[in-house]
Structure 1
Amino acid sequence: MKDDKQNFVLFAVIAALILFGWPMIQGKFFPTANPPVTKIEGGKTKPVANPAADPAADGAAAVRDRAAVIAETPRVRIETPRVSGSINLKGARIDDLVLKGYDETVAKDSPPIRLLSPAGAPDAYFASFGWRAQGLAPPAADAVWTASGATTLTPTTPVTLDATNATGQRFRIQIAVDGDYMFTVRQTVLNAGTAPVPVATYGLVNRVGISKDPSSMTIHVGPMSVDNGGAHYRPNYDDIDEAPQKFTTTGGWLGFTDKYWLTALVPDQGQAFDGQFRAGANKAYQADYALQPKLVAPGQAVTQTSRFFAGAKEVRLLDRYTDQAGGVAKLDYAIDWGWFRIVEKPIFYYLDWLYRTVGNFGVAIILLTVTIRGLLFPIAQRQFKSMAAMRAVQPKTKALQEKYKDDKVRMQQEVMALYKAEKVNPLAGCAPTLLQIPIMYALYKVLMLTIEMRHQPFVAWIKDLSAPDPLTPLNLFGLLPFTPPHMIAIGIVPIILGISMYFQFKLNPTPMDDTQKQVFKLLPWVLMFVMAPFAVGLQVYWITSNCLTILQQKLLYARHPGLQAPVTK
């Protein structure tokens, strides 16, 4: 009776630690899924506003404000298959950019993602290119440039901007864009004066406010650079608030990364440059670079070329920009794959191939699970064989533990001698579980990081596999007019996960230890709460894995009937 009370107290403490301590650990190391994109009201699925959306997408007043700011200055249109917007001729800024292929929400009439906005508009975010004023008099930041040639920037028609100063220097910025998200900027200075002048080009990205996406130990959001051969996910915004962060390198890039979006300044990869991140007034942050100056003789011109990426962090696209001739060093590292990159990228590419084949990411996750379980089946067979052997020697192990309970060292020696004599490896049964850990983590990162998973529906009410299940019985599936607290809003999919784990654990060999028995009874329901805030896609993987494990166990029990036989005491 006393032992039962102790066990009950122990389980209560463990459950409390998991249920209340896990959210704090999770927030730091394993941020949960994207915010739900739908809600259930009156039994019907309705899209919800994106809490991280640009104000222009969700508010009429904000749309008018931005439209007014854009209308105040002369502009050149940007129109490509994937982006649209305009270049501000006042200051020669790329400050108006919309991503056509990505919407703010899953609603049919949702506006597209607006990545860049002009200064003075909500969430100002823009890029600018110019020259250092070292013996040179470049156009002022508010100078109005003259556009020549094409009136609209397209993949086949670059735009040329010209300006002059009082001393005879002529400045030209030619901007081209490809069919995706990469701009090429050619900056030319013609020295029409009578004395040599030093010329040093610069580029900058300026944004007001920090990213609305949370940054964590496992997913970096904020300033990022590739310099001196490495990808650096620091400094963060707090570091920049304290002091400017500077570096000097040859090759590389710098900019700002959100979970799904990226702006990156890419100087000439063959020239040394000084890069820095710094903070300004009103929570403005800037990434900028400056090339080393070149002396331009009278009558001579110098052209320096840089690139500017502004768009979605698509895996295949970033890999292509990195690997192509003259590519951008480690641009693919803008996706923070982390330590398991070697596992995560192959899993993504295989999952993406399955999706392109079947047309549904949920089905692709199920097929991925079947593939992984099939590859692990030979190991599972050895696991069950080891479990059968361990079960056979359990009575002898228990007897040794009782015999030498007052001499722990002798007990360990005798138990290990028994394992050796019986040719039993107690760790062999852990192999499949240990192999599953990096696979689960890799899929977690794929669901969290890759834009390819964003807003991907599965079936029925599941409109986004990268978000938690929005359907919960606690408000009668949306029929009652209230939203349960996040911690207890257990969706249908997590409940199915808990049930599948219960039946899987029930098929496991019954442990002799009473404490272990109680833990196995409690664990499925604790994990149901733990997994509820995670992406539905991860839960689909686990449910499928549990169902396959149940089938596998039934098959292997048929081959090893000793596992189900009562243990002889």
Structure 2
Amino acid sequence: MDNQRNLLLAVALSFLLILGWDTAMRYFYPEASLSGAPEQTQTAAAPTATGAAAGTAPIAAPGSIDAGATGIGVPVDLDQALASEERVRIDAPRVEGSINLVGARIDDIELKDHRQTVKDDSRPVQLFAPQGTTDQHFAQFGWIGQGVTLPDGKTVWQADGETLSATRPVTLSWDNGEGQVFRIRYAIDENFMLTATQTVANTGAGPIVVQPYGLITRSSANASPSTFNAHSGPMGAFGDTVEYGPDYEDLVESGSFTPEAGAPDWLGFSDIYWLSALVPQQGIDATPGFRSLGDNLFRADLIYAPETVPAGQRVSRETRLFAGAKESVVLDQYADAGIENFGKAIDWGWFEWFVKPMVWLLRQLYDFAGNFGVAIILLTIIIRGLMFPIAQKQFASMAAMKAVQPKMKAIQERYKDDKQKQQQEVMKLYKDEGVNPLAGCLPLLIQIPIFFALYKALILAIEMRHKPFYLWIDDLSAPDPAKILNLFGLLPFDPPGFLGIGILAALLGVTMWLTFKLNPSAMDPVQQQIFNFMPWVLMFIMAPFAAGLLLYWVTSNILTLAQQSYLYSRHPQLKAAAEKQKADQEMVAARDKAREKKSKG
């Protein structure tokens, strides 16, 4: 009865674990997907920003930033917003879009190499979108000051060219009619970095004082969820540290946030796969800040120190704007070129030293195999191959432990009243026989950081986004789409959370159950029953995870089965001893059960 009660309790606790995990993920991360970030798409829903919220929040003196953002009472369609003729086209190797001459906003950025969905006719990812669209996200450069007429968010600029390209910069200019001419020269490189050079030429009778600024305004409506292992939201590098935060919700509560860790190296907004960030001119004082503008609008701004521009002189400031994909190779190139800690815009976590080499190896295997799923399988084979000598030592140690069991039991019986002496004799036995009782734990301890590192790599690596495998798996960064409960898509509903068991999750449960069955263990019947249904518990827990991660685990289980079969053939005494011990325990359990039945009869 006790065994049955314990078994039922274990089953109940396991299902509570499944339900608790799913409930907790939905509570703490209500829009989160364990497979990564949601797709960014543009829709024509009505925005809720008010005029004050969108761009007129007070800034430290002198003056305030006037981004020209005003509330929109009717929905703004993306294509309609981009149809204005007052735009300068952007056509770079990896970026296309336009600059709005009204306010000199960079508010139209598409990433040529990345699509919104896996469909062949999908549009490119729309990273920046104009004010008034649901997913508004734009950058703007200007000046604040006193006693001088300045351009604002409604100013119409003049351009000296029609297209900004990697070989052709474009300069916007505006004359305030009072002796000051303002210019913004935009340039773009072959990846995702724009450079804005702001110049004020003072031809007036006296000096003026201005503060150049750069800002990024965005809505959180289309932001990736910030999860326990990957930050999404405001972030930046200040001094020698990278601050992954605050989150959007924290910023709403505090209203604003000014980093105090040191001079800014860069700051902006991060999604799982995308980044928009301002990089200040080196050696020039600048104040960074984040603020909530209300109604799901947020701003990152970079305000330079006041500059006095004497009559007949000019002053320039150069700020770079990154607007693109978080490709680790590209980010590291910018870091090598002088942007401190730019590679850490990807939230690698504590295992960065291990995750980044794994991502590099995955890229090399993908270049070799031409299929990211095959690359994951090859990576699994490499990892298991490197760990095979350790597994051999583990099995040899287990065999040695089985061999010394009779001697160890004799010592325990002889010194059962003297625990200290018993321990000393056992340790001496281990030393004399060359046995390491901890050797069997080493493979498990090594696999923990490997599994976690691969988990981070598959979630964060944009290289895996929208990469297909074979057959039904068309996106390894998303959960397995072939769900058993809806008959693989034949029924018109999508099973929620842990109930969305796909083919890979089922294979995970089967292969793990087979590994437990192949490994004879000396456990009591209750423990044995727990290990029998544990694979099916993990099948439910892992069902919502990325298909690429499940592919790794299934492959690892298959290799484990092959490895165990081989090693047991090399150490038959280990399997025989374990099976004998298991048979003895079953016999004792059957005898106890018979006695219990007889006593009740």
TM-score of the pair, normalised by structure 2: 0.85
Measure the CA separation in 2 of the matches of 1:134 and 1:417: 84
Measure the CA separation in 1 of the matches of 2:194 and 2:456: 29
2:308 paired with 1:298: no
Measure the CA separation in 2 of the matches of 1:440 and 1:279: 37
- 2:186 and 2:194 in contact (8 A); partners too: yes
Residue 166 of structure 1 deviates from its aligned partner by 3.5
In the superposition, relative to structure 1, how do residues 386 and 13 fare at CA in structure 2: closer, same or farther (>3 Å)?
A: farther
2:547 paired with 1:536: yes
Residue 514 of structure 1 deviates from its aligned partner by 3.4
Q: Equivalences for 1:5-154 in 2 at 5 Å?
A: 5-24=4-23, 32-34=33-35, 53-55=41-43, 65-72=77-84, 74-148=86-160, 150-154=161-165
Residue 424 of structure 1 deviates from its aligned partner by 3.0
SS state of the match for residue 349, structure 1?
A: helix
Measure the CA separation in 2 of the matches of 1:398 and 1:362: 49
Amino acid at match of 1:169: Q
The superposition leaves residues 208-252 of structure 1 with CA deviations (integer Å, 9 ceiling, x where unpaired) of: 234432111210000001111211001111222123111364340
SS state of the match for residue 155, structure 2?
A: coil
In the superposition, relative to structure 1, how do residues 199 and 52 fare at CA in structure 2: closer, same or farther (>3 Å)?
A: closer
Q: 1:546 aligns with which of 554, 557, 560?
A: 557
Residue 100 of structure 1 deviates from its aligned partner by 1.7
Residue 20 of structure 1 deviates from its aligned partner by 1.9
The superposition leaves residues 42-77 of structure 1 with CA deviations (integer Å, 9 ceiling, x where unpaired) of: xxxxxxxx76533269xxxx9972233333561111
Q: 1:273 aligns with which of 276, 286, 304?
A: 286
- 1:210 and 1:222 in contact (8 A); partners too: no
- Out of 15-24 and 414-423, give the one that drifted further: 414-423
Residue 254 of structure 1 is matched in structure 2 by 267
SS state of the match for residue 467, structure 2?
A: coil
Measure the CA separation in 1 of the matches of 2:542 and 2:414: 42
Measure the CA separation in 2 of the matches of 1:246 and 1:172: 28
Give identity over the alignment, percent.
50
Q: 1:427 aligns with which of 438, 460, 466?
A: 438
In the superposition, relative to structure 1, how do residues 482 and 173 fare at CA in structure 2: closer, same or farther (>3 Å)?
A: closer
Q: Equivalences for 1:206-355 in 2 at 5 Å?
A: 206-241=217-252, 242-247=254-259, 249-324=262-337, 327-355=338-366
Residue 478 of structure 2 is matched in structure 1 by 467
In the superposition, relative to structure 1, how do residues 235 and 115 fare at CA in structure 2: closer, same or farther (>3 Å)?
A: same
* Number of residue equivalences: 548
Measure the CA separation in 2 of the matches of 1:364 and 1:544: 12
Measure the CA separation in 2 of the matches of 1:280 and 1:3: 61
Measure the CA separation in 1 of the matches of 2:141 and 2:292: 18
Measure the CA separation in 1 of the matches of 2:43 and 2:414: 72
SS state of the match for residue 317, structure 1?
A: helix
What is the root-mean-square deviation of aligned Cα atoms in Å?
2.7
- Out of 2-11 and 456-465, give the one that drifted further: 2-11
- 2:223 and 2:232 in contact (8 A); partners too: no
In the superposition, relative to structure 1, how do residues 29 and 145 fare at CA in structure 2: closer, same or farther (>3 Å)?
A: closer
Larger Rg: 2
- 2:224 and 2:271 in contact (8 A); partners too: yes
Measure the CA separation in 1 of the matches of 2:173 and 2:440: 71
Residue 21 of structure 1 deviates from its aligned partner by 2.5
Measure the CA separation in 1 of the matches of 2:527 and 2:419: 21
The superposition leaves residues 388-421 of structure 1 with CA deviations (integer Å, 9 ceiling, x where unpaired) of: 1223344566677789999988876776565455
Measure the CA separation in 2 of the matches of 1:227 and 1:214: 24
Amino acid at match of 1:291: Y
Measure the CA separation in 2 of the matches of 1:12 and 1:414: 40
Residue 206 of structure 1 deviates from its aligned partner by 0.6
Unaligned 5+ segments in structure 2 are 46-73, 585-601
Q: 1:453 aligns with which of 442, 464, 467?
A: 464
In the superposition, relative to structure 1, how do residues 24 and 421 fare at CA in structure 2: closer, same or farther (>3 Å)?
A: farther
Q: 2:493 aligns with which of 482, 485, 488?
A: 482
Amino acid at match of 2:42: D
Q: 2:533 aligns with which of 522, 525, 539?
A: 522
Measure the CA separation in 2 of the matches of 1:405 and 1:448: 53
Amino acid at match of 1:69: A
